[in-house]
Amino acid sequence: MELVNGKYQLEGGIDPLQLCKTHGTPLYVYEASTMQRQYERITKAFTYPKVHIHYACKALTNLAVMRLFREWGAGLDCVSIQEVQLGIMAGFKAEDILYTPNFAGFDEFDEAVKLGVKINIDAIPMLENWGLKHKDIPVCLRINPHLMAGGNEKISVGHIDSKFGISIHQLPHALRVVESQGLIVDGLHMHTGSDILDVDVFIRGAEILFEAARKFPNLKYIDLGSGFKVPYKVDDIETDVEELGEKLSTRFAQFCEEYGRELTLMFEPGKFLVSESGHLFARCTLVKQTTSTVFVGLDTGLNHLIRPMFYGSYHKIVNVTEPQFKPRIYTVVGNICETDTFGSDRRIAEVVEGDILCFYNAGAYGWMMSSNYNSRPRPAEVLIYNGKAHLIRKRETVADMVQNQLPVTP
């Protein structure tokens, strides 16, 4: 969304205020052109010929969005059997889906086998279970490289205390299980976390996987996960994927020559692909001044966008209705009976009741982490594609929220 001649416009010159009038608020809006730009950016960054990008759909698991990535050539990274099922519904081929669950029951793995998708195992006990039932089906191993990435323990998943992956120090144990049960390992995987700025973190992680890979003779692919940082503020820093593509293409080609065959290099970005495409629009319900703070209250809250409260994440906030008004200092809060502060001491064009405010970078983990807390329905979703606005999810109603509830019969 850009400010053009004093008014905000979405892709194709679409007026966000008109969208809010048509569909109501709160409202999630995504720009497909931004998603495509990010996808093409990462695919073009690599000169190595066999690079495959899997969209980590947990970031935004709407069928319309998933279908776009499928059309652009992406595979799919799924962390639950339900995401796998949605991926099949969105038209992805089973062989283009990697199922990477965490502490899932073996019934989910059985279902994934029936669906024919790639399987990623991140625990030695599950690897042992696999050998008892599906030893002839190839698997990928998720390795924890013990790299602290991103600098935030809530978004770093490759450190030594993480629940994710098989510790690199447990590799000899994993190898014994593989050899004793005659398992076929055709892939190695790692994911160290989010908001990784240092390209060399990926390179160090890759070197750890390369060393492990030499112990597995039947590999077809190596998956380096994701964690690319996107900018949240003006002049914010981001992961230099072009530098990563240049360095890793050369190093991966070298490794494949050492390994004796050309492997597929995989990544599974989610936030990188969809975060900047998304905006959450909300209406000001009240401006309230206390002894020390001026609050702007909205018709949304942590039930619709929990990232600022959960992760401490920053989202740019603007007044869409009156962008040219004199700025004032506000603390922006939600309408939930909790401390749901979106941003403190923000400089925003003066706000009055009824004004529409917008949160930037709301495409990833916005709607997907929303809830019905305080019995409030979840927002509608709109996708702007080829210059037109398409409603891709209807706004929930109270009837939707209670449809699965059953009365108690005396």
Residue 83 backbone phi and psi in degrees, to 5:
-65, -40
Q: Report d(CA 225, CA 54) in Å as an integer.
A: 9
Q: Report d(CA 241, CA 103) in Å as an integer.
A: 31
| Residues 66 and 78: beta-carbon distance below 8 Å | no
| Residues 297 and 284: beta-carbon distance below 8 Å | yes
Q: Report d(CA 155, CA 135) in Å as an integer.
A: 33
Q: How many residues does the chain have?
A: 410
Strands 356-359 and 278-289: antiparallel
Q: Report d(CA 231, CA 223) in Å as an integer.
A: 24
Strands 264-267 and 317-319: unpaired
256 is catalytic: no
Q: How far is CA 155 from the centre of its chain?
A: 12
From 20, 57, 140, 337, active-site residue: 337
3 state SS of 292: coil
Nearest of 260, 246, 270, 311 to residue 98 by alpha carbon:
270
**Catalytic positions, written as ranges:** 337
